[in-house]
Chain A
Amino acid sequence: EIVLTQSPGTLSLSPGERATLSCRASQSVSSNSLAWYQQKPGQAPRLLIFGASSRATGIPDRFSGSGSGTDFTLTISRLEPEDFAVYYCQQYGNLLWTFGQGTKVEIK
């Protein structure tokens, strides 16, 4: 089973700043099988990025994904007030799905 480790656990930033979230896998992940989600309190997760770098429908272009192998990154170029939330990475391989433990982006 592939374990995903996200860092940092919490990111304290101000609106307008750049956020860089990391997702590291315990073994190599196919780039086309890595996704990112945003979750706000009391809501279901929302798909942001799939295939490591493709934005889901309706996702603003300030969100971007990159990486390959065992290291993946979600970047929010300029934080908007609505971007403060918890972010999860997720991978799929060999008929198993796993999630990272999440990174909370909070207002500084």
Chain B
Amino acid sequence: QVHLQESGPGLVKPSETLSLTCIVSGSSISSGYYWGWIRQPPGKGLEWIGTIYHSGDPYYNPSLKSRVTISVGTSKKHFSLKLSSVTAADTAVYFCARTVDYDVLTGSRGYFDYWGQGTLVTVSS
């Protein structure tokens, strides 16, 4: 059973860097999947932050690209998100998710099949 779990501080001060980790079990990060971060401000919709392949470059939402870094841990059992220079607008529930790049049975691409439960990060002094 694939399981993803986000962890990190629930409170970050303005102008500081938000750091979250997603621990993956039941699926290898080195398998043929991508791994992504999505966020959801309170009462609002979903926003894709970025995605990474275990051996490739990350891809970022252009609106956040200058502040985002996504990386895979050396143990290949977790991947991480860093978002710098945060403001109150970055307050959100942050989700990590496994991303199917290509489904050989249907030819389908780019969907998120397993999600973590999400973690609320509040930006406040």
Contacts and interface: CB of A to CB of B under 8 A. Distances in A.
Interface string B13-44: 00000000000000000000000101000000
B9 interface: no
Interface residues of A, number: 29
A92 B46 CA distance: 14
Interface in A79-108: 88, 90-93, 95-102
B62 to A, nearest CB: 7
Contacts, number: 78
Nearest to A54: B106
B108 A32 contact: yes
A55 to B, nearest CB: 11
Nearest to A92: B110
Contacts of A92: 109-111
Interface residues of B, number: 26
A96 B63 CA distance: 11
A51 B48 contact: no
Report which residue of A39, A96, A101 has the largest number of chain B beta carbons within 10 angstroms of its beta carbon: A96
Contact of B112 (A32, A33, A35, A95): A35
Interface of B: 36, 38, 45-48, 51, 59, 61-62, 95, 99-100, 103, 106-113, 115-118
